[in-house]
Structure formats: C-alpha cells, structure tokens
Structure 1
Amino acid sequence: MNTSQRALSAKFSEALKHSGAPIRRSFTDAQDNELSPLASLMRGSRGQGGGGRGGGTRLAVLLTLLWVLRAGHHDSDRPARFWAQLIGLNEPKTDGARAVRDSFHELAKRKLITVDSVIPGTLLIQLLREDGTGIPYSSPVASQVGGAVTEPYFRIPPALWETGLISELSGPGLAMFVIVMRSVRSDRPQNKLWFSSASFKERYSLGDSTRKSGLRELVEHGVLIESYESVDDTGGTEYRTRRRKTYTVDPAYLPFKTNEVSTQKS
C-alpha cells in the first residue's frame, strides 16, 4: 500500500469536494475510422497497441491532470515528482519523475497539453481539451445547476486515487476502468454492463486483448462484479441461448454524484 500516494490523494480529494474528473465522451469514442484519443494515448511511439507500462503511465498522468486542473486556469508548474507521487509511481523523486516528464512530452505530441519551460528545471503544463483537438481546455460540466450541457461527458470517480487503485492497475486495466465509467448509467448505476468483442474495437479503437485483460484485472481488484446470463442472438431468451459475461460496478467505484448536470446516457 502506497501510503504517501493515498495521503496526498485524500488531501486533493477533499479540496475538490470529493468530486471526480469530468471526461468528454469524445476522449473514448472513435470517430470517422480515426483512433480515439484514448487509443492513441495507449499506443507507443511506433504505433504499437496493447497499453503497456508507458501507455498506462501516460493515461494515469492525463487523468490526474484532468482531475486536479479542471478548475481555475487549468495549468500548473508543480514539479514532476508531485505528479509521480499522486499517481503512485515508484521512486517519485527520480525514476517516477522521469516517467512523468516523458509522459508530458508524449501528451504534448498528442495535443492534450502544452509544455513550456518557464525557468530552468521548471515546466509549465497547460491543459488542452481531452479530445485531442489542441483547443484550450474548458470543463464540459454545466457552469450552474440547470445550465445546458453542450457536450456529453462522464466522470472518473475520486476513488481511483483515494484507494490507490491508479497505482495498481496496468495500462489495459486503467483503460478499461475509463471505458467502464464511460458505460455506466448515472440514472441506472446497477445495470449490468457487457462489452461485445464484435463492436468493442470499432467503438473504442482498442484491441480485444485490452478488453479481456483489463476486465479481468478490474474483477480481481474488486471494481467489477462478474456474472453470467443466457441470451439469444436477438438479446432476449426466446431462442437458442448462449452465455454472456456481464458486469456490475462495485458501489465504491461509482462516479460521485453532485448537483451538476451530467449526460451519462448511452
């Protein structure tokens, strides 16, 4: 258990009123046969998929930036070791900080942040929209109760950081955590989820190995509760049936509900 990571996360979660990170659905969803920003983030510099250690670190860094910098001017000059500690990397002052700096530059290549050297040894990070358009960041959350939500979004719950889970998941596990939060309905949080291999890659630009290993990991960590149901090819039970693996989200990991307007419907 990384006690320093959890202590720092608890401090920020309290400052953020225990509300999660709002994420536009355009971050996860593929459009016009293009890679989704999430899938691009998980690929290496040579275009290889799989979401290895580098992809998982890049995703963890971006999610944490979106969590911490979602308000104000959406920028920070905190040292890399701060972010390394917040996501629970080993050796946050040395190897962990180096991994964060590498992630900063990869995020900048993908137009998710800008990185400027203000003074020697200090980087200024400016958040851009998570859809990879390079547009300066603005929160998708309606500015006031009852305000119009112009873009659909979902939330990454603060439990990802508070429990230390962000430091325990692999790249595929963290990517599937994001997809699960994208899929859960705020009005029906205990509905069963399933992820068809036939449509998964088309919808999210992620491979079947990421889907399988990521879901298995989330079950092992207690985020998902796995079950089976019998369905026919029409989605019902009237004809010859087959077993389908389904999942429900443990309540501890459901997105924290606030009085902000949200559009989490599929």
Structure 2
Amino acid sequence: MATTSPSETSPVPSGTLPQQDTIRLLLERSARPNRAVPIRREFLQQGPKGAPAPGPLHDLVRRSRTRALDLYLLVSAVTSSRDFDVTEWAATWARSVGDHGEKSGQTTVSRAWKVLTDLKLIERRRGREGKTTVIKLREDGSGTPYTPPRSSGGDPYFPLPYEYWDHGLNESLSLPGKAMLLITLSQRKERFPLPQGRMPNWYGISADTAGRGLTELQDKGVLAHVDDERFATLSTRTGWASRPVYSLLAPFTPRGL
C-alpha cells in the first residue's frame, strides 16, 4: 500500500463553517451521554479465534480510502436513533472531511459514499431539500440492518471516544494511524502486545503499515511502549524472542478498566 499522509484540507472560504466546528455540531446532535461510538470488532476482524479473517477496515486501508473511513466513523457517531440514519447536505459532510470546495466537496462525498455502499456498510437514499439520507448497516459488511451491539452474548465491540475528534486526530493522523488506533482500542486491555508480523493474517494490514501507524500513535501521545515480553518461538536459535507491549494513554484508555 502506498504511503498515506493525513487528509489534506482545502482553504476555508469566507462565511463557511470550518471543519472542526462542523464536526462539533454533528457530534452534539448525536446526544450520546458517554460521548463514545460503539463499534463492533467485526469491522476490524471476523471469524473464529483460531482462524481470524480481516473485516471491512482492511479494504479501506488497502485502497487508501481515508475520507471514506472518516465519514464512516462520523456516520457511526451520529446515527444513534431508532432507524440509525442521518439526513444531511453533501456540503456538510464535505466540510467534515476538510473539503470546502463547492464542486470538489460533492465529488469527495459521492466517492466516499460509493465505497461504503460497495462494502455494504451503508445504504443511501434521496432525502428532503436536496439532502442525502445515509443508513448505517452492520459493521461486518454483510448488508444486514444495524442493531446496537450488546455488552453480553458474544457481540464484542469497543468504544471510539469523541476525544478522537476533540483532539483533532481525525485531521492529524494518517490512514495507518487511524487504522491502528481502532485496532488498539479493540484490545480492551490495559496492556497488550501487537505483533506486526501477525497484522496481515489478523487484520489484513501489512506489517509495514501497522508499524507506521503504531509509531505515529506514540508520536501523538496516544500510545506508549511500556514493556517488552519474551515468548517461545522456533524462529530463533535460542527458542526465545521478545516483542513490545503497549498501553493506550488517557483519554483513550479503555473505559471500564
């Protein structure tokens, strides 16, 4: 996969609401009391524990669809009502991903919706007043209707805190950084290893991409390398090797731990 830098933003025309203010208003409208988005782990990884398979995230990373991921995370945050849909102007969504051009914004949003529709993560319908209605589907890409994840009954999920947007990580992180943030949040542990060599099989993300994302999260003060652990292996002469152990830093420390 080609190197992906943080999303480029277009200049903000006079009289147009800036990107972060647009996002703030969208998130306020969601009215989630805990200010966190529940996301099923199926978005990242599927299959049984012994034979995991990548979820839809790997398609977005492989195809370098940063803005599609940005819009998907925002849609996930704001569709919290009965029908899990949201109706908005394309210009609003375009501003939320930093494209303030009248024509380019329409194109950016239309392309992103198509990617998400093809992955069966959303449906689109024509809304009122020239707006578009976006309906969130289940995170596994099966195309089935969305239902809130349950805290019990084998429906694992993780929360994406609103601080992701509050702290501007949606702008400053590259696509590898965003992907690895979601993966680290899904660990739901205070400390965890993330062997880069396992990333292709576990999440469909190359070891190089994972390494860049982990380094970026550490540079941003989101993730810390807190220890190293030894493990048995046949890949070394001694039969032992070591790997880093990470921990998320506040406010991204898994809630409830």
Normalised by the size of structure 1, how large is the TM-score?
0.76
Task: State the shift of 1:199 in Å.
Answer: 2.3
Q: Distance in 1 between matches of 2:45 and 2:34?
A: 26
Aligned counterpart, 2:77: 67
Task: Say which SS state the counterpart of residue 88 (structure 2) adopts.
Answer: coil
Contact persistence 1:19–1:256 (CA under 8 A): no
Tell me the amino acid that sits aligned with residue 107 of structure 2.
Answer: R
Task: State the shift of 1:210 in Å.
Answer: 1.6
Q: Say which of 93, 104, 107 aligns to 1:98.
A: 107
Deviation track 1:162-183 (CA, whole Å, cap 9, x = no partner) reads 1111122111111111101111
Q: Say which of 21, 24, 31 aligns to 1:7.
A: 21
Contact persistence 1:90–1:96 (CA under 8 A): yes
Aligned counterpart, 1:40: 59
- The runs of at least 4 aligned residues of structure 1 exceeding 6 Å deviation read none
Distance 1:254 1:230, change over 3 A: closer
Aligned counterpart, 2:222: 223
Q: Distance in 2 between matches of 1:242 and 1:34?
A: 26
Deviation track 1:55-112 (CA, whole Å, cap 9, x = no partner) reads 22111111111111033311122012222333x4242654344322211111111111
Q: Distance in 2 between matches of 1:13 and 1:77?
A: 14
Aligned counterpart, 1:76: 86
Q: Which runs of 5+ in 1 are unaligned?
A: 45-51, 143-147, 258-263
Contact persistence 1:156–1:255 (CA under 8 A): no
Task: Say which SS state the counterpart of residue 253 (structure 1) adopts.
Answer: coil
Q: Distance in 1 between matches of 2:255 and 2:231?
A: 35
Contact persistence 1:37–1:131 (CA under 8 A): yes
Contact persistence 2:27–2:77 (CA under 8 A): no
Contact persistence 1:158–1:256 (CA under 8 A): no
Aligned counterpart, 1:165: 169
Task: Say which SS state the counterpart of residue 6 (structure 1) adopts.
Answer: helix
Tell me the amino acid that sits aligned with residue 157 of structure 2.
Answer: Y
Distance 1:34 1:229, change over 3 A: closer
Contact persistence 1:30–1:202 (CA under 8 A): no
Matches within 5 A, 1:167-246: 167-185=171-189, 189=190, 191=191, 193-229=192-228, 231-233=230-232, 242-246=241-245
Contact persistence 1:157–1:254 (CA under 8 A): no
Q: Distance in 1 between matches of 2:155 and 2:204?
A: 21
Task: Say which SS state the counterpart of residue 225 (structure 1) adopts.
Answer: strand
Aligned counterpart, 1:89: 98
Distance 1:33 1:24, change over 3 A: closer
Distance 1:206 1:30, change over 3 A: farther
Q: Say which of 131, 139, 147 aligns to 1:138.
A: 147
Distance 1:117 1:140, change over 3 A: same
From the two aligned structures, give the one with the greater strand fraction: 2
Q: Distance in 1 between matches of 2:56 and 2:78?
A: 20
Q: Which runs of 5+ in 2 are unaligned?
A: 1-8
Task: State the shift of 1:119 in Å.
Answer: 5.9
Tell me the amino acid that sits aligned with residue 171 of structure 1.
Answer: L
Distance 1:149 1:30, change over 3 A: closer
Task: Say which SS state the counterpart of residue 229 (structure 1) adopts.
Answer: strand
